[in-house]
């Protein structure tokens, strides 16, 4: 696997260095506005480096790792339209309806690949799902993962770090399937190459191309691991819960207050911590600790009894509740 991971990492790293150069002729900039956390224009072409590294890794996987073809051959039907609409959005901006339509098609492509779960597995429970219910849940899951990863890509080193930790964890959980583990290690490696120049202070951003691609691949690998029986969906959700919980709770809060959820904002919990004065570097390092704790819990969860899994999930629900209350308390304290 090292012979695949290393070229993938080096390709992504080289492309990231090239695309982050201020005088590079082929780049587009993310200009700061009143909802941004950065202070000056930053290239948002990091997604191209991630794709370049992923292309090299994908070719090597198909050549040397058996069992990879099935998964990789199913990806382009959804991934290529997603990349195209994200590129257009990065360059000129695309109406929400067009983006959402492509996101729906991307999710449907996974239904055609038969990745919809046939049962809803929870700690100690397994409920068979009618085909139409499984299809709806799969589409919602994929579309939400694509968008939440895009929403959460708003702080230096954040999305890249989640990808490195999250996909490395899925690779370890899925090591019995060489194809799944190989794809996850590949995504983790290309994300690590990008992260070198994205760690605070960032010299390059993912852009929509990178963030939506990583969100889509997180959904794909989660569904694939469940499909082949290596881990249930809820374990994958636990792995990526630092993103899922923040984005979902923030969305529900904005809906409750009647805000336009498709508009940019600074209401995510990680953004609120930066605005409290924690800064990008300190906030992202704290988030890394949370990500690593979630990853360790997921690795432990697959070895626990149903009762132990239930306690683990309950503990994390309590922990997230306390963390969110803690952020609100810090904000109230600052206002005094």
Q: To 10 degrees, what angle do helices 131-152 and 96-112 make?
A: 130
Q: What is this structure's pTM?
A: 0.94
Terminal Cα-to-Cα distance of the chain (whole angstroms): 54
Alpha-carbon distance of 310 to 272, in angstroms, equals 31
Alpha-carbon distance of 157 to 179, in angstroms, equals 28
324 token code pair: 């969110």
Residue 20's pLDDT is 87
Smallest CA-to-CA distance from 167 within 311, 291, 321 is with 291
Number of H helices, E strands in the chain: 14, 4
Residue 260's pLDDT is 75
Residue 30's pLDDT is 59
Asked if 174 and 221 touch (Cβ cutoff 8 Å), the reply is yes
Radius of gyration of the chain (CA): 19
**Between β-strands 119-122 and 125-128, what pairing exists: parallel, antiparallel or unpaired?**
antiparallel
pLDDT digit string (tens) for the chain, length 336 residues: 778 899 999 999 999 999 988 777 666 765 555 555 555 677 888 899 999 999 999 999 988 887 677 677 778 899 999 999 998 887 787 888 899 999 999 999 999 999 999 898 888 888 899 999 999 999 999 999 999 999 898 889 999 999 999 999 999 999 999 889 999 999 999 999 999 999 998 889 998 999 999 999 999 999 999 999 999 999 999 999 999 999 999 999 998 888 877 677 788 999 999 999 998 899 999 999 999 999 999 999 999 999 999 999 999 999 999 999 999 999 998 876
The count of other CB atoms within 10 Å of the CB of residue 90 is 22
- Look up residue 36 and give its DSSP letter: -
List Cβ<8 Å contacts ≥24 apart for 23-30. Answer: 28/90, 28/91, 28/207, 30/205, 30/207
Q: What are phi and psi of 164, to 5 degrees?
A: -60, -50
How far, CA to CA in Å, does 90 sit from each of 83, 157, 198, 213, 256? 10, 19, 18, 13, 29
Alpha-carbon distance of 119 to 138, in angstroms, equals 11
Residue 266's pLDDT is 81
Alpha-carbon distance of 146 to 157, in angstroms, equals 18
212 token code pair: 């939506």
Q: Can you give the residue ranges of every domain in the chain?
A: 2-21+37-335
Helix (H, G, I), strand (E, B) or coil at 232: coil
């Amino acid at each position: 696997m090292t012979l695949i991971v290393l070229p993938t990492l080096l390709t992504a790293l080289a492309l990231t260095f090239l695309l982050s150069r201020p005088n590079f002729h082929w780049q587009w900039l993310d200009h700061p506005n009143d909802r941004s956390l950065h202070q000056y224009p930053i290239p948002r072409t990091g997604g191209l480096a991630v794709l370049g590294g992923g292309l090299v890794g994908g070719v090597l996987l198909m050549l040397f790792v058996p069992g990879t073809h099935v998964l990789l051959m199913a990806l382009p039907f959804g991934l290529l339209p997603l990349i195209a609409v994200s590129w257009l959005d990065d360059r000129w901006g695309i109406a929400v309806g067009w983006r959402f339509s492509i996101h729906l098609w991307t999710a449907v492509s996974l239904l055609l690949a038969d990745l919809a779960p046939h049962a809803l597995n929870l700690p100690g429970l397994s409920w068979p799902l009618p085909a139409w219910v499984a299809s709806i849940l799969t589409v919602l899951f994929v579309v939400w993962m694509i968008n939440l990863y895009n929403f959460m890509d708003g702080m230096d080193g954040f999305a890249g770090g989640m990808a490195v930790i999250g996909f490395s964890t899925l690779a370890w959980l899925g090591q019995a399937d060489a194809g799944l583990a190989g794809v996850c290690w590949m995504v983790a490696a290309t994300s690590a190459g990008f992260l070198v120049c994205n760690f605070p202070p960032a010299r390059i951003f993912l852009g929509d191309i990178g963030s939506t691609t990583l969100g889509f691949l997180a959904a794909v690998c989660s569904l694939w691991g469940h499909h082949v029986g290596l881990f249930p969906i809820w374990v994958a959700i636990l792995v990526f819960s630092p993103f899922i919980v923040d984005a979902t709770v923030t969305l529900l809060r904005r809906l409750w207050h009647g805000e336009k959820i498709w508009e940019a904002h600074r209401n995510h919990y990680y953004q609120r911590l930066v605005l409290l004065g924690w800064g990008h570097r300190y906030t992202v390092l704290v988030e890394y600790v949370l990500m690593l704790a979630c990853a360790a819990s997921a690795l432990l969860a697959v070895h626990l009894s149903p009762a132990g899994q239930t306690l683990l999930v309950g503990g994390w629900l309590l922990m997230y509740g306390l963390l969110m209350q803690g952020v609100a308390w810090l904000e109230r304290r600052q206002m005094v």
